Amino acid sequence: MEKISIENYKGIIWDLDGTIYDITVAIKKAIDDTIEKYNLTVNRNEIMEEVAHLIEEIQNYPVPKILLNSYDLLKVNFLEDISFFKKIRTAIFLFNQFNKYKEAESTIFEGIDILLSDLFNKKLEMAILTNNKSQYAEEVLKKFNLTKFFSIIIGFNDVSEVKPNPEGILKILQKWKINPSEAIFIGDMTTDIEAGKAAKVKMVCVASGLAQKETLSKHQPNILVDNTEQLIKLFNV
């Protein structure tokens, strides 16, 4: 298996949800509840990534923006062929179920805290780049005692364009004063892969559960691993 020689790098940028913080259980449960309540004929595992993107957008937009954009927001495959009104009810139910499960069911991926600590001790700069609010990232990091490892946290509120736009990555590199070739970006979604490639950093993708590996593979990250365990082995610290 491929290894990353960390002496070739100065900084690592991390996505949060699905990469460090495991929200897959909450999303799975919310989808299962929604499929049952609305008799949807969809396959849960196939719609995880689409649902994750939808939830991300809904939780970050102010209500007026959601209302104005609801027609486009709900143009998702898993809500195809149903009336607009029912789409709204289904999406609201899904979102509420997700919020109900999120706090209690979500935790950090096993071993990720040790990897972060080891990389930090090797004097690598580390940052969080999330399409969520930076305040949300701060709260999650604090809850799991990870705050000390990160010199920069960037959320959707700190950039004009979120991932897949590379703006957040480039902003972090500029603050660190390092080149793209000296940085690694680790994420779990196709939007992460596109952002990493556009920023020309080393893009490591972990298929931790939200997006299907075949989909991620089509977007051609530099390295694609199956799970956190493989990600840890990749670094060999």
Return residues touching Mg ion (CB under 5 A). 15, 17-18, 188
Tokens coding 124: 């690598």
What residue type is 46 in one-letter code? E
Partners of 224 in the beta sheet?
205
Inter-CA distances, 233 with 40, 226, 230, Å: 39, 11, 5
Between residues 125 and 188, which has the closer beta carbon with respect to Mg ion?
188
CB of 40 to Mg ion, least distance (A): 24
CB of 164 to Mg ion, least distance (A): 12
Instruction: Determine what percent of the chain falls in helix, strand and coil, rounding each to the nearest 5.
Output: 55, 15, 30
Q: Which residue is nearest to Mg ion (CB)?
A: 18
Between residues 188 and 194, which has the closer beta carbon with respect to Mg ion?
188
CB of 209 to Mg ion, least distance (A): 10
Between residues 40 and 57, which has the closer beta carbon with respect to Mg ion?
57
CB of 18 to Mg ion, least distance (A): 3
CB of 17 to Mg ion, least distance (A): 4
CB of 148 to Mg ion, least distance (A): 22
Between residues 82 and 138, which has the closer beta carbon with respect to Mg ion?
138
Partners of 128 in the beta sheet?
14, 153
Pairing type for strands 21-22 and 107-108 reads antiparallel
The torsion of the CA quartet 184, 54, 144, 212, rounded to 10 degrees, works out to: -60
Whole-angstrom distance, CA of residue 38 vs CA of residue 31: 10
142-148-149 Cα angle (round to 5): 110
Between residues 24 and 90, which has the closer beta carbon with respect to Mg ion?
24
